[in-house]
Structure 1
Amino acid sequence: MSFLPAAAVTLATFAFMELWAWFMHKFVQHGPLWVLHRSHHVRHPHPVERNDLFFVIYGSLSAALFITGANGGRWWFWVGVGIAAYGTVYFFVHDVLIHGRLRFWKKSQNPYLRALNMAHKMHHKTTGRDGSVEFGLLWVSPKYLRLAREQTRLRRPTASTSAQLPRA
């Protein structure tokens, strides 16, 4: 498969995965598979939780598409690339940045990343299966973007206040 179709399939799959993740999170993880996802909504001392099985499921699907995709010759190889790319972004944004499961990425001052964090905190406000909001990962409600931008604006020193700061 040539570059442009492969890139198009990969990007379309990545975008679709955000919609799929929202749907699965809202209707399956907070529904029939709550037995697995519940571990993500309660505090526990373990580094691994039952919810991590979803990574195994999607990682296995992506690997199967790689293995059977003739080293990029079949379109489904690139679907596997899109799933793997989304999973990688999901891991770094959700598990590393938001939940701090690995402590190498400190909280960001970027308004978009702060908005994602706010929305996710709202999702975790409830520890039960019902009553949660904000089920997506990369798409964030405009109200959280506005709040994050406002917080960032208020934290930046203005030209007049920075002129009054003592110099070292």
Structure 2
Amino acid sequence: MDQELRQKILNLLDQHRIMTIATLRPDGWPQATTVGYVNDGLTLYFLCGLESQKAANLAGDDRVSLTIDHDTPDIMAITGLSMAAHAQVVSDRSEAAKVLQLLPSKYPEQTSLPVSMPTPEEVRIFRLTPVVISVLDYAKGFGHTDLVTC
């Protein structure tokens, strides 16, 4: 991947803080859910409940698809990311602590944080490692995408 495209992906990741993630249910149907995320470079992280449907789905199949985008009144200003990725549970305490420390940086306008942030034992933290990234940029033409294999 060239440096310009990598920087464009990183800028889009930094500009946003929610994504729609699709996991596969046991019956084969995809399940799409909106979640918050943080990223460390191209690696994304999200939290969910220990017994959530997402966690159960990912225990059976670690493949996900996700989108990150925003609404715009100008159709030719549509930009965003679509990714195919593998999800792994973060079990290393130092990595989990790093993820939990990154969360407040995504919400700088939040003046008061919860009394206590969840601990790694109270939530399931997933690391998303991209396999394919599609960068959508209508400014380059209707429906234009740049495809990157990681």
Q: Please report the TM-score for the alignment, with normalisation by the length of structure 1.
A: 0.22
Bigger Rg, which one: 1
More strand by share: 2
More helix by share: 1
